[in-house]
Amino acid sequence: MESAIDTHLQCPRTLTRRAGEDYRPPFPVWVARAGEDVTQVVMGYLGVQYRGEEHRDTAFAVLRQIVDQFGLPDGPGTWDVTHHRDAAGADNLVAVGYWRDPGTYGRWLARPEVAGWWDADERLTGDVGVFREILSPRVDGFETLYPFTDRLPGVGGVMDGVSDEIEEHAYWGSMRDRIPRSQTDRMRPSGELTAQGGGGRVVVRGHDDLALIRSGQDWSDAGPEEHELYETEVEPALRAAMDFLRDRGQRLGCYSNRYVRYIDLDGTPLDKTYAISHWRSLDRLEQWAETHPTHLRVFVAFVSLARRFTTLRLYHEVSVVRADEQYYEYVNCHPATGLLRDATVPGPS
Amino acid sequence: MESAIDTHLQCPRTLTRRAGEDYRPPFPVWVARAGEDVTQVVMGYLGVQYRGEEHRDTAFAVLRQIVDQFGLPDGPGTWDVTHHRDAAGADNLVAVGYWRDPGTYGRWLARPEVAGWWDADERLTGDVGVFREILSPRVDGFETLYPFTDRLPGVGGVMDGVSDEIEEHAYWGSMRDRIPRSQTDRMRPSGELTAQGGGGRVVVRGHDDLALIRSGQDWSDAGPEEHELYETEVEPALRAAMDFLRDRGQRLGCYSNRYVRYIDLDGTPLDKTYAISHWRSLDRLEQWAETHPTHLRVFVAFVSLARRFTTLRLYHEVSVVRADEQYYEYVNCHPATGLLRDATVPGPS
């Protein structure tokens, strides 16, 4: 057993860990580990937005263009593709790529096939919109959690392996305790989301210590009974919580919540989903997760049945990012897309 | 707004509070306050145990004797009386008295009408058992919480008034943050419960940093609609949680759990209940409250309906006590009564 905070990221604490030194969690979980050469990763959420079945083929063609770009030199170490319908009724296809370092990402991004494609005026017209939400958390600003040690999804896919069983889990506050920065920093947010641009292309600037969580569910290995159990006893509660956050999370500090389903490149849904949500702060995310009835119902549904799930894979990754570690761009998208909804347009100074 | 920890009990922290300095709770609550002359209080739970309706009158006669003793000089500043049926099927009547200081309690206890009564051989025979569970927490070892400021029940009844609205509430961990000792002490338990004696009279010795919670519900001011709402939507979840703790709480560190109902001295039930439970440690109590489905269901039931409750009074008091601040004695009671169930008999040394 060891700390979730890797040895080389430990430092003298000025803030105490919630769990005492003698705390022992009731079941094992692991976190992803990487060598000391990994100092910052890149999570690039690249989306295609369309409305109406008549534009579906076009949207998937654009999605495949994005995935083709992933195959270029310096592309992401791992990626996945999802679909979700948003609160405005638009369909969205999102390809997320993970890079092990910003240098590789930067070289990839600078390629004419990538930069040129995003910057082309062609993106501003036509039947689909595109967006990119790029977050580049430093290793002291993110954490992962897996109750399994193989085939790590998400950012775990670009790291080097897994930890020993870790101490900081199975209590509220453990998410924070797993983030190395929490040793000395409460990670209080400052600043606001601001939107710049127009003419169909808007860039949103993030603020310091915005939090991002990807919380995943994979029941693709489940047999019929477990499949049924998940889809009837857990998934409805999860969906209700996700719908709540999407539609009414704003006043709780949730800028964006997408409950997305893995698809293949033809659009066939797979039995894997995740919630990807952006929050004003880790504090706000904690408050919702720990006290909101919609989330506690999911927690209770899962915990009550945990022993009957043998193949269900739940995991998450949480990042706290500084303003300059975020880049959001929306092209030809509706005005409530992603972080655009809550961004303010700076007035004349 | 102010800290739940009274000014004269604040000290330089070696452990950080879970809530950040900028945390603002979403609704107001208050704690009881007392002058600096109050350094230690006494909570005396005095019980009568019987089985079968044929012994009910005798039991109530004994209960009235105890309450009469409360009326002697140096008796408690406030008291209440409850009934509960325990896991062994026995009925129990408990009168709890609160003293503002151990000196007054000590003088009361030493009176021949009290000490003599408890020590009499007569207590060892007959159709009812009696027990006393006395806890004397120091002011740095207990906290209270009330979403109201008048007619404080429990220990609040022997204190001097209420605080301003306090900061440390509406998050998991706030219970600990309200206890002054938490500023520098994790309050980890040490030692074991041990039983001594025989022949029908057993004394149980507590161990350091055992935790006691009294968590109360008062719907006696409710109109018919709120009454119905409480009894159909909240109380059943509460009862299920209490039954769970009573019957299966042992492996979670719960030594004793009683879900009791206020009665008058004739046995008529009132619309006021509380749970009174003893725990190996504050850690164990936190773990159960924060993560166990039975308790979270109560939490969700209440929070989901909170706006519809206008007169329901929920409150609690939590104490962490050292070994020498506890005294438990069971006379002519069944062997699973109170802390007797989990106490070990020391072997020959």
Q: B259-285: per-residue pLDDT in tens?
A: 999 999 999 999 999 999 999 999 999
Contacts of A300 in chain B (CB under 8 A): 293, 296-297, 300
The whole-angstrom distance between B331's CA and the closest CA on chain A is 37
Any catalytic annotation for residue B278? no
Cα A252 to Cα A283: distance, rounded to the nearest angstrom: 10
- B23 touching A, CB under 8 A? yes
- The CA-based angle B86-B299-A279, given to 5 degrees, is 155
Question: Which range has the worst mean pLDDT, B158-172, B200-214, B314-328, B334-348?
Answer: B334-348
Residues, chain A, total?
349
Which residue among A188, A290, A300 places its CB closest to the CB of B172?
A290
Rounded to 10 deg, the angle between the A235-248 and A293-305 helix axes is 160
As a whole number, mean pLDDT of residues B136-157 equals: 98
Contacts of B170 in chain A (CB under 8 A): 291
Q: Which long-range contacts (CB under 8 A, 24 or more apart) does B113-116 make?
A: B113/B69, B113/B72, B114/B69, B114/B72
- B172 inside 8 A of chain A by CB: yes
Question: Inter-chain contact A18–B173, Cβ cutoff 8 Å?
Answer: yes
Q: Which of B173, B165, B174 is nearest to B146 (CA)?
A: B165
A26-69, pLDDT tens digit by residue? 999 999 999 999 999 999 999 999 999 999 999 999 999 999 99
> Of B207, B227, B316, B334, which is the active-site residue?
B316
Three-state helix/strand/coil letters over B249-281? CHHHCEEEEEEEEEECCCCCEEEEEEEEEEECC
Shortest Cα–Cα distance, B191 to chain A (Å):
15
Confidence band, pLDDT 50/70/90 cuts, at residue B159: very high
Mean pLDDT for all residues in chain A = 97
The answer to whether residue B349 scores a pLDDT higher than 80 is: no
**Long-range pairs of B241-248 with CB within 8 A, sequence gap ≥ 24:** B241/B292, B241/B294, B241/B295, B241/B297, B241/B298, B242/B275, B244/B292, B244/B294, B245/B275, B245/B277, B245/B288, B245/B294, B246/B86, B246/B87, B247/B87
Q: Which residues of A89-99 are buried (b: 16+ CB within 10 A; e: fewer)?
A: ebbbbbbbbbb
> Could you read off the pLDDT of B8-27 as tens digits, one per residue?
999 999 999 999 989 999 99
Q: How many CB atoms lie within 10 A of CB A60?
A: 20
Residue with tokens 């999570």: A43
What pLDDT was estimated at residue A348? 66
One-character DSSP codes across B58-98: HHHHHHHHHHHHHTSTT--SEEEEEEEE-TTS-EEEEEEEE
Asked whether B59 and B131 are in contact (CB, 8 A), the reply is no
Q: How far apart are CA B193 and CA A99, in angstroms?
A: 55
Task: For chain B, positions 183-202, list CB contacts with chain A under 8 A.
Answer: 186, 188
Q: Find out whether A257 and A249 touch, Cβ atoms under 8 Å.
A: yes
Taking contacts as CB-CB distances below 8 angstroms, the residues of chain B near A169 are none
Torsion region of B40: left, alpha or beta (phi above 0 gives left; psi -120 to 50 gives alpha): beta
Q: Read off the pLDDT band of A179 (50, 70, 90).
A: very high
**A290 and B CB contact within 8 Å:** yes
B50 falls in which pLDDT band (50, 70, 90)?
very high
The single-letter DSSP state of residue B132 is E
pLDDT category, B348, cuts 50, 70, 90?
A: low
- Chain A contact for B1 (CB, 8 A cutoff): no
Å between B300 CA and nearest CA of chain A: 5
B102-111 burial, b for 16+ CB within 10 Å, e for fewer?
Answer: bebbeebbee
Compute the distance between CA of residue A5 and CA of residue A16 in angstroms, rounded to an integer. Answer: 14
CB contact under 8 A, A300 and B304: no
Q: Does B308 touch chain A (CB under 8 A)?
A: no
C-alpha dihedral (B237, B240, B246, B249), degrees to nearest 10: -80
Find tokens 């949680």 and name the residue.
B241
Nearest-neighbour CA in chain B from A292: distance (Å): 8
| DSSP track, A1-42 | -B-SS-GGG----SS--SS-TT---SS--B-EE--TT--B-E
Cα–Cα distance measured from residue B89 to residue B53, given in angstroms and rounded to the nearest whole number? 12
**Could you tell me the end-to-end alpha-carbon distance of chain A, in angstroms, rounded to an integer?**
55
A270-311 pLDDT, tens digit each: 999 999 999 999 999 999 999 999 999 999 999 999 999 999
What is the per-residue pLDDT across A83-135, written as a single tens digit (0 to 9) for each? Answer: 999 999 999 999 999 999 999 999 999 999 999 999 999 999 989 999 999 99
Residue B149 Cα distances to B29, B74, B136, B177, B270, angstroms = 8, 27, 24, 21, 21
Nearest to B19 by CA among A283, A185, A180: A283
* For residues B118-124, average pLDDT: 96
Residue corresponding to tokens 């002058």:
B35
Q: Is B171 on the interface with A (CB under 8 A)?
A: yes
d(CA B152, CA B155): 8
For chain B, what is the mean pLDDT?
A: 97
Q: Residue B19: closest CA among chain A residues belongs to which residue?
A: A283
SS3 content of chain A, % helix, strand, coil (to 5): 35, 30, 35
Say yes or no: B306 contacts chain A, CB-CB below 8 A.
no
Instruction: Give how far the C-alpha of residue A122 lies from the chain's centroid of Cα atoms, to the nearest Å.
Output: 28
The Cα–Cα gap between A331 and A338 comes to 12
Give the pLDDT score at B347: 73
**What is the H or E stretch that residue A138 is in?**
none
Residues B281/B185, Cβ–Cβ less than 8 Å: no
Our CA dihedral for A300, A303, A304, A308, rounded to 10 degrees, sits at 140
- Per-residue pLDDT, averaged over B325-336, amounts to 98
